[in-house]
Amino acid sequence: MLKLVLVIHVMLAIALIGVVLLQRSEGGGLGMGGGGASGGLGLMSGRATANLLTRTTAILAAAFLGTSILLAVLTGGERRGSVLDRAPELPPIQFPTPAPIPGPALAPPVVPAGAQPPAQQPAPVVPAPVVPAPAPANQSPVVPAPAFPPGQNPFPPTPAPAPGGGVP
């Protein structure tokens, strides 16, 4: 049964490709389905040939879809499970712990017995001086744009289009 459906499926695929190639497209295609004496030796007009090829394509496509679904159902009857279910179980990945960075060890200050440790005070905050960066030698310094008061439009209004709506 499966081989018979598969053979029909392949024949439908070949027929569908042939019918699609026979149709006249905007670019011309093979154009063998044209009207007049070339298409059906004068028996069918161009429109009738196009309608016949369109309907034939739709019928072949529906049959191709049907055989595809039938093949999927016939071969999917055996419940094999997922490929991931059959994958071997791997141990979890363990990353090595990083080695400590060598450097001078900071020991806590030594306080004599009976003495109070000095109170820690925060370091004083000194603001950094603000110095403007010099302008590059090949460029002029940047001049800030003039500020416009709120509500004032710095751009002139766009003129209305000319009557008639055409381009002058």
> Which residue has 């030698």 as its token pair?
137
CB atoms within 10 A of CB 61: 14
Q: Averaged over 92-110, what is the pLDDT?
A: 75
> Which residue has 């709506």 as its token pair?
165
**pLDDT interval class at 15 (50, 70, 90):** very high
How far, in Å, CA of 30 to CA of 20, rounded? Answer: 10
Helices (H) and strands (E) in the chain, counts: 3, 0
**pTM flag (> 0.75):** no
How far, in Å, CA of 43 to CA of 35, rounded? Answer: 9
pLDDT of residue 167: 59
For the chain, what is the largest distance between any 2 Cα atoms, rounded to a whole number of angstroms?
A: 121
pLDDT at 166 over 60: no
CA 49 to chain centroid: 40
Interhelix angle 2-22/46-75, rounded to 10 degrees, is: 150
Q: For the chain, what are the domain ranges?
A: 42-73
